[in-house]
Amino acid sequence: MTVRQATEKSPLEPVASPPRPDANRKGRREPRRSRWLDRAGWYEPREAGARSTTRQAEALNLALSSPPTTHRGLILGTDRLSGQLVCHDPFIAYADKLVSAPNVAVVGDVGKGKSSLLKTWGTLRQLLLAGRRVVVLDKKMQAGQGEYTSLAQAVGAPSIRFTVDGTGSRLNVLDPVIALGEPGSPTGAAGRPTGQMMLLRAVLAEALGRGVTEREGKALRIALLAATRDAQERKRVAVIGDVVHHLIHPEDHAAETIGVTRPELREWGFDPAFALERMIEEDLAGLVDEETSPEVQLDHSSGLVHFDLSSLPVEGPALRIVMTVINTWQTNMLAQRSQKLMQTVNVVEEGWHVAQGALGRVFQRNTKLARGLGLATLAGFHHVSDLPPGSAARSLLQEAETVFIFGQSLRSDALACAELYDLPPGIEDTIMGLGRGTFLAKIGSEAPLLVQHIRSPAEVSLTETDAALTGRN
């Protein structure tokens, strides 16, 4: 055998592992590695694995869809397509430039879950999680009182109840909180909420069943200024009865100022005087004709202000007038406190009550000041078709950039929603098939999301409204 043959090895024969750096260099070789020990990490140290959970490791699955919304906001529910959380808040969405106004519209048939959403996301979570003030105009009756009564009791807030028998609370149309003059007038400031004069015109238009003429409006303004001045001299607050008195008994110098006789000025004010007198003695007796009750205020420590309107009749002007006076009083109160930068949520369960007339226009005008007042109005409606085109309530629906659409049983109602909010073609079938607690969320210009509303056990007990039908609390 040659030297070359003695030193070379066949390519098929195993080759010994190279010596490790710390091996003895005197010509000795390490023993052959055991593959079992090698797998166990006997020869070299191995990195320990990181503990995780399936929820945390979801990010490693690139096939998952992106979250439907950001984490900023209050939980609405879960996305029916991906199962992920859907969060939204009108104030945060405004700050993030997703919407240009914080107002919210909730549309859907009776029993589909609108009230549950307004009570949880719109009220409880705003109070407890966001720390905001919430004002509720509660018209729906449950067991002889407003639906939100149990919720108000749970957070320790009183219920401010309005009744037509004179035993409830009162809110003065001429409350000093409300600005005296109309916006843009010498006695008011441009950009201010509705003033006493505009509110009086709205109430009077409801009482007369028509608009106020120019001469009636002039007589009304003269009477309002005289009533306010006399009340201040007597160190008390003016009420509607004072305006009625000065409409029937105008002052001589007031008539001379405008170049007419006193009998002529009184003639201008007769119809307004008699209409207002009838309103405060019949339709609105004990509601808006006296000084504001002490319990009517926005500063309760719980943050919740619950106006119980469930005892007011749907027929007649009482409900619409009281709702509008409350809205105007609140808006003026917030305007005075705007420097405190406090955010307020206004929940209107039955928005269709402000659908028509001068009172609806007043409500709509006050809502347009939301950005400057830190006010978000959350209004509930049954059907778009219930609201006449051009009405104040239809405008509230159109101007809302956050919309939650619950199930609609009629195709015409589903189509009206799709048309009003420019939803994708064919989505009316989805709207008609929505079950209880499921809704479409349309936020700004984003694509609509199919959301399942979720509630905690405590929220379920506070939002169920079937006690009268089931016989159980």
d(CA 372, CA 190): 13
What are the distances in angstroms from CA 115 to CA 10, 178, 190, 421, 437? 86, 30, 36, 21, 10
Average pLDDT over residues 451-468: 83
- Per-residue pLDDT tens digits for 184-228: 443 344 445 678 998 999 889 888 888 899 999 999 999 999 999
Question: Among 7-21, 53-67, 324-338, 438-452, which range has the highest average pLDDT?
Answer: 438-452
**Rounded CA gap, 312 and 316, in Å?**
9
d(C-alpha 287, C-alpha 28), whole Å = 108
pTM over 0.85: no
Domain ranges (residues) in the chain: 62-161+299-467, 176-291
Residue 396: the pLDDT is 80
Q: Decide if pLDDT at 466 tops 70.
A: no
CA 84 to the chain's CA centroid? 23
Q: Confirm if 205 and 357 have CB atoms less than 8 A apart.
A: yes
- Lowest mean pLDDT of 28-37, 206-215, 273-282, 443-452, name the range: 28-37
The pLDDT tens digits for 288-309 are: 889 999 999 988 999 999 999 9
Residue 311 contacts residue 163 (beta carbons within 8 Å) = yes
Mean pLDDT of 430-437: 95
DSSP for 227-293, please give it: HHHHHHHTTS---HHHHHHHHHS--HHHHHHTT--HHHHHHHHHHHHHHHHHIIIIITTTTSSSPPP
Q: What is the mean pLDDT of the chain?
A: 84
pLDDT at 468 over 50: no
Question: What 3-state DSSP class applies to 442?
Answer: strand
Measured CA to CA, the distance from residue 174 to residue 237 in angstroms comes to: 8
Q: Which of 47-56, 106-115, 147-156, 229-238 has the lowest mean pLDDT?
A: 47-56
Residue type, 455: R
Among residues 357, 338, 332, 341, the alpha carbon closest in space to that of 171 is found at 332
Q: Percent of the chain, pLDDT > 90? A: 50
What is the C-alpha separation between 20 and 115, in angstroms, rounded? 75
- Give me the helices (H) in 279-341, please: 318-336
- Name the CATH superfamily, with its identifier, for domain 62-161+299-467: P-loop containing nucleotide triphosphate hydrolases (3.40.50.300)
Q: What mean pLDDT do residues 313-327 have?
A: 86
**Segment 304-333 mean pLDDT:** 89
pLDDT of residue 4: 44
* pLDDT > 60? residue 79: yes
The pLDDT tens digits for 355-396 are 666 777 787 887 888 888 889 999 999 988 878 777 777 888
pLDDT of residue 433: 94
Q: Name the packing angle between helices 357-367 and 196-208 (round to 10°).
A: 150
Residue with tokens 């939100």: 148
Residue 77: which region, alpha, beta or left (left: phi > 0; alpha: psi -120 to 50)? left
